[in-house]
Amino acid sequence: MRLTLPTSIFQLALIGFLLATLPLSIALVNTFVQIDRLSAQMQIAVSDSAQAVEASRTIMAQILNMERSTGQYLVLRDSAALQRYEDQRGQLDKAIVLLEDLPLDKSLADRLEQLREQEQALYDKLREVVGIPQPEDEPLKLVEQHNLTQLVRPIPFEVTQMITRRSNVITGQLEQVQGLLLLQALGLVPLALILAIIFSVLISRPLRRLGAVIHRLGAGEFSTPVKVSGPQDVRELSEHLDWLRKRLSELDEQKQTFLHHVSHELKTPLTAIREGSELLRDEVVGTLNPEQTEVASILRESSLQLQAQVEALLNFNAALAQEKPRQQETIVLDTLLPEIIDKHRLAMRARKITVQTDLQAVSLCGEQDQIRTLLDNLLSNAIKYSPDGGKVQLNAWVENDKVYIDVIDTGSGISNEERDQIFEPFFQGQQRAKGHVKGTGLGLAIAQRYARLHRGSIKVRDSQTGAHLRVTLPSVSAE
């Protein structure tokens, strides 16, 4: 027999709720049954106790009345006294029957049986002496011979003992019920909680997976198929997300193709413009006046800036097409980082920016050009957003088979809203760079892509001095 899974999150939540409340419902019903049974036993015990007390009181009263009537009859020979005795005898019998209907101890039952026999013997004796004269002391002897008062005197005490024993039994049952309910609570309540936790996990796990898939799609990872198991509506949503992934992948491929073609199409005329501006600036075609020389310089700088942006676009496009570094070589960071810093000496000197370093002997394995570009983009970004006369801190160290590189500037920092956006292509934050050249918005995107190609990452960390970016890469020993 195949188990059919719930077809929706709603059904799964409903089943989980019912299963979680089932142990509590069982506990509630069992508690009601136990309390109802105990309440019925207590009512019966109270009723029996009242009946036993009333019956014992009646027996004592009737025995005293019967002995009085016996004495009157034997002395006066009054038929009314005998009739009164017989009426009292009937009431005594009813009281004994009422008491015998209760669950009596053996000693009390034997006493009642003996009382019946003694009273019957007294009654038979009275019937024998009807009309026969008796000596004066004969009534007293007859009463003493059948001393019913002495026989019934222990009955109230025995009834009290019987009631006490039954009360103790009910108290013991009450304690048992309390213990049973406690064990029930200790067992069923955790079971209900466990069931609730299990179904919460069953419900939340596919939702978390869907969230991870959406986050992955938002990060531009379209290579992994979307397949999330779970209820029917979750599977349908997973299929829709996989369709969306395919469409986004197609659009991304089209975008990359477009960028590739546009970049190459721009590069050819741009090269011609740059070379032409160089020829004009060098006065190869003739002497230029100052205004013409200025225009030629502007053309040259603009062409160089545009060429740098096109090359950045080509590099980003190539990085997106890569799945791993093209070559693996040992990179010594404490040698590479000073070279990158020297590249920016002129820009830092112009704005009086200093770079402080704390570099340990750090090595990692990867493609040197990509690591160089990664670090160059981070340092260039820190310089651009640092104020004139600012400071950039550059640290590198190894810890737990990981290489950590910190780039910290003294600029205005990165807001919480922009922390996840600064690594997106072409994103321009609210803060503007201090340098003269406007960026393309690809520097950090390329750096993040190269870090991921080397199984690392770049994270924005909290800082009170400015922007703090930390690069994490595997060290040589971790390879």
Q: Spell out the SS3 assignment of 184-229.
A: HHHHHHHHHHHHHHHHHHHHHHHHHHHHHHHHHHHCCCCCCCCCCC
Q: Which residues contact 187 (CB under 8 A, 6 or more apart)?
A: none
* Domain ranges for the chain: 9-183, 232-319, 324-478
The pTM of this model reads 0.51
The CATH architecture to which 232-319 belongs is Orthogonal Bundle (1.10)
Write the DSSP string, 153-170: TTHHHHHHHHHHHHHHHH
What is d(CA 443, CA 422) in angstroms, rounded to the nearest whole number? 10
Contact 59, 44 (CB under 8 A): no
Helix 155-218 vs helix 106-128: crossing angle, to nearest 10: 150
Element (H, E) at 402: strand 402-408
- Would you state the pLDDT for residue 201? 79
Q: Which residues contact 162 (CB under 8 A, 6 or more apart)?
A: 52, 102, 104, 105, 108
- Would you state the pLDDT for residue 439? 59
Domains 9-183 and 324-478 equal at CATH topology level = no
Contact 344, 379 (CB under 8 A): yes
Residue range 324-478, CATH number: 3.30.565.10
> Model confidence over 13-59: pLDDT tens digits?
778 778 777 777 887 788 888 888 888 888 888 888 888 888 888 88
- Would you state the pLDDT for residue 405? 92
What is d(CA 320, CA 42) in angstroms, rounded to the nearest whole number? 83
- Would you state the pLDDT for residue 278? 76
Contact 297, 305 (CB under 8 A): no
> Model confidence over 296-309: pLDDT tens digits?
777 777 777 777 77
What is d(CA 461, CA 455) in angstroms, rounded to the nearest whole number? 19
- Would you state the pLDDT for residue 432? 58
What is d(CA 107, CA 115) in angstroms, rounded to the nearest whole number? 12
* 234 SS3 class: helix
Show the low-confidence residues of the chain (pLDDT under 70): 1-7, 129-147, 219-220, 263-264, 320-321, 429-440, 477-479
- Would you state the pLDDT for residue 152? 81
167-177 CB burial, b ≥16 within 10 A, e <16: eeebeeeeeeb
Residue 126 burial (CB count, 10 A)? 20
Both tokens of residue 385?
A: 């957003």
- Would you state the pLDDT for residue 473? 92
- The sign of the CA dihedral 195, 197, 202, 204 is positive
What is d(CA 462, CA 296) in angstroms, rounded to the nearest whole number? 45
What is d(CA 249, CA 165) in angstroms, rounded to the nearest whole number? 85
- Would you state the pLDDT for residue 471? 94
- Nearest of 418, 415, 414, 406 to residue 458 by alpha carbon: 406
Topology (CATH) of 9-183: Four Helix Bundle (Hemerythrin (Met), subunit A) (1.20.120)
- Would you state the pLDDT for residue 129? 65
